Structure 1
Amino acid sequence: MLKKFAKQTLVAVSLAVSIPVFAASYTIGTGSQSGTYYPLGGILAKIWSENIDDFDMRAEVTAASVENTIKVATGKQLVGIAQGNVVLQANEGVKPFPRKMDVSVLFALYPNAVQFMVPADSDIHSISDLKGKRISLGAPGSGTRVSSVNILSTLGINESDVKPQSLNYTATTNALANGQIDAGVIVGSLGVGAITELALTRNIRILSFSEDDMQKIIAANPSYQPLEAPAETYKNVPAFTTPAVWNVLVVNKNMPQEQAYEMTKVAFDNMKKIRQVVGVTKFTTLENMNKLSGIALHPGAQQYLDEQMKK
């Protein structure tokens, strides 16, 4: 009996040794495949997977900021890309979030422009002209929808004052191209793919916010700042001024400090590779890591920043 037990034990140990140790699998929440979040999430997932031991990550297509923030706070995603104003709302527990969420920030990424698109020959020339119009305000659960609704409300235009539709990036540009809507909102980096592709086949304009509009928006939400977009940011589109808010990498505030530190370090060690894929990450610098005021960096990310600032 003893010999049989010893033999079984030896077989079990042998099997245990021969079974490979699988890397922990994670996801990074991104957004629509026609936006900037998706390719950025893809290259970050690749960089982390290749440079962190026992770490396997993939990019997940989502409705973007709100969904990503909720999934990170509830442990369904390790990290997500989100607009800073959405993360601040989650941290404070205000709409669209039902309560305070367990969120923190690894580092700021780049500024996101709030871009109200109209056909070039449209009679819509200002934000106030949007009243009564058919407008895509962005997909449910997206930062685009949060930003567009908040900005319009700040400027005295409620959803009941327009004919709202809830479309993602691709559906918004298709609807605008086909005359199914009068205006559409996309919140993304300057040069975002969805608008770039639309401007190649359709003549469009992007509404410019007046100085008075900008002052009202910034007074109501200091996370926004004016962004001057030069002419030809998109084909044949004149220069425009629009509100912008920084995108960030959002993580659960309970993420182990060592993990947050390693992910931050690996990302910055490989930033040249990231910029080759997503050019707008030229804004992703040590100096801009804590660009989003109102919420502290995760302690692991802060540890990395402190070390670098001493060099």
Structure 2
Amino acid sequence: MQKILKNGILGLACLFSFNVIAENHTIGTGSQSGTYYPLGGILAKIWSENIDDFDMRAEVTAASVENTIKVSTKKQLAGIAMGNVVLQAHEGVKPFPRKMDVSVLFALYPNVVQFIVPADSDIKSIKDLKGKRISLGAPGSGTRVSSTNILAALGINESDIDAQSLNYTATTNAISAGQIDAGAIVGSVGVGAITELAFTHNIRILTFTPEELKIVSDSNPSYQAIDVPAESYKGVNAFSAPAVWNILIVNKNLDTELAYQMTKIAFENMSEINQVISVTKFTTLENMNKLNGIDLHPGSLKYLKENM
């Protein structure tokens, strides 16, 4: 009886311990008003339902930089980040203190650098941002990294503007309240925060000139020009802007079989993911290795080779 009781307690302890570990699987996303959060949520759901003894939830974070650090230090199993941020982590350049243990599971979709202003603003171009109150994105976010890098490439430093550090929701709220002159959101075309703002306020999104786009891509090849058609947001004209791919990242030392299973199950259930996040129409086998300069994880590379 004592032996049975002991074994039963031990079994319960092991089960409890296992469940705690399983529940600690997280995928780092971004703010709840962006695309990262619902995308992380559907990925977590699909993996939890289709991988044995696997339980994951989406975690709200400051996005790219935070997710990359947490994945590299094994505080998150996976994370979503902008490709330029991942490359900076891989190379160990600012804002990262050293080379980070990060690897690409697969590329997701392109993010567009969108500078938003009220429709009646006297800001007509990127160069007009000098001297203005501008939200550059939350600290630790890919928006912050991208907006500051792009403006610097075009000769506009933080000292040239009244820089604010706001997330997506705070940025659009501040624009609607007239508390800032412009705000940067680096996200998919149709990102929720801008879509909601455009329904209630007349806004414009600044267009980059061909010369500005060339300067940006020359300074950082991870950016490529994209033309966004009119009415992608209510009442907003067509605009041109730099874009950078979003990447699904894992620790480079993640178990190869688990990385393979995560990749395989994601692609086998891509139609369900597409229904929730339409921009994942870009998440294809052909685009898996879209980010130059860093290798795919061996597990996802195995899946790619099997299916190409």
Structure 2: 5+ residue stretches without partners:
none
* Counterpart in the other structure of 2:7: 13
* Counterpart in the other structure of 2:193: 194
Distance (whole Å) between structure 1 residues aligned to residue 155 and residue 11 of structure 2: 67
| CA distance 1:74–1:213, change in 2 (3 Å) | same
What secondary structure is seen at the aligned counterpart in 2 of 1:167? coil
Comparing 20-29 with 245-254, greater Cα deviation is found at 20-29
> Once the two structures are superposed, what CA deviation does each residue of 1:68-120 show, in whole Å capped at 9, x if it has no partner?
00000011100000000000000000000011000000000000000000111
Q: Which amino acid aligns with 2:6?
A: A
Q: Which amino acid aligns with 2:83?
A: G
* Counterpart in the other structure of 2:134: 135
Q: Which amino acid aligns with 2:4?
A: L
Structure 1: 5+ residue stretches without partners:
1-6
Deviation at 1:125, TM superposition (A): 1.1
> Once the two structures are superposed, what CA deviation does each residue of 1:266-307 show, in whole Å capped at 9, x if it has no partner?
111111111111111000000000011110000000000000
Q: Which amino acid aligns with 2:253?
A: N
Distance (whole Å) between structure 1 residues aligned to residue 249 and residue 288 of structure 2: 12
> Once the two structures are superposed, what CA deviation does each residue of 1:151-185 show, in whole Å capped at 9, x if it has no partner?
00000000000000000000000000111100000
- 1:96-175 equivalence runs, <5 A: 96-175=95-174
| CA distance 1:213–1:19, change in 2 (3 Å) | same
* Counterpart in the other structure of 1:272: 271
Question: Among the aligned pairs, what percent are the same residue?
Answer: 73
> Once the two structures are superposed, what CA deviation does each residue of 1:236-292 show, in whole Å capped at 9, x if it has no partner?
000000000000111100101111001101111111111111111000000000011
Deviation at 1:9, TM superposition (A): 2.1
* Counterpart in the other structure of 1:3: none
* Counterpart in the other structure of 1:182: 181
RMSD (Å) for aligned C-alpha atoms: 1.1
What secondary structure is seen at the aligned counterpart in 2 of 1:100? coil
The structure with more radius of gyration:
1
What secondary structure is seen at the aligned counterpart in 2 of 1:55? coil
Per the normalisation by structure 2, the TM-score is 0.96
1:295 aligns with 2:289: no
What secondary structure is seen at the aligned counterpart in 1 of 2:55? strand
Distance (whole Å) between structure 2 residues aligned to residue 113 and residue 71 of structure 1: 24
Deviation at 1:10, TM superposition (A): 3.0
Distance (whole Å) between structure 2 residues aligned to residue 51 and residue 306 of structure 1: 22
Distance (whole Å) between structure 2 residues aligned to residue 245 and residue 267 of structure 1: 22
Deviation at 1:12, TM superposition (A): 1.8
* Counterpart in the other structure of 2:26: 27
Distance (whole Å) between structure 2 residues aligned to residue 73 and residue 18 of structure 1: 32
> Once the two structures are superposed, what CA deviation does each residue of 1:201-251 show, in whole Å capped at 9, x if it has no partner?
110000000000010000010000011100000000000000000001111
| CA distance 1:306–1:176, change in 2 (3 Å) | same
Q: Which amino acid aligns with 2:5?
A: V
What secondary structure is seen at the aligned counterpart in 1 of 2:61? coil
Distance (whole Å) between structure 2 residues aligned to residue 126 and residue 105 of structure 1: 35
Deviation at 1:19, TM superposition (A): 6.5
Deviation at 1:123, TM superposition (A): 1.1
Distance (whole Å) between structure 2 residues aligned to residue 193 and residue 218 of structure 1: 27
Comparing 11-20 with 147-156, greater Cα deviation is found at 11-20
Deviation at 1:8, TM superposition (A): 2.3
> Once the two structures are superposed, what CA deviation does each residue of 1:16-75 show, in whole Å capped at 9, x if it has no partner?
456783442300000000000000000000000000011110000000000000000011
Distance (whole Å) between structure 2 residues aligned to residue 18 and residue 158 of structure 1: 58
* Counterpart in the other structure of 2:90: 91
> Once the two structures are superposed, what CA deviation does each residue of 1:118-140 show, in whole Å capped at 9, x if it has no partner?
11111111111100000000000
* Counterpart in the other structure of 1:36: 35
* Counterpart in the other structure of 1:260: 259
Distance (whole Å) between structure 2 residues aligned to residue 131 and residue 143 of structure 1: 21
Distance (whole Å) between structure 2 residues aligned to residue 15 and residue 172 of structure 1: 52
Distance (whole Å) between structure 2 residues aligned to residue 70 and residue 85 of structure 1: 14
| CA distance 1:18–1:93, change in 2 (3 Å) | closer
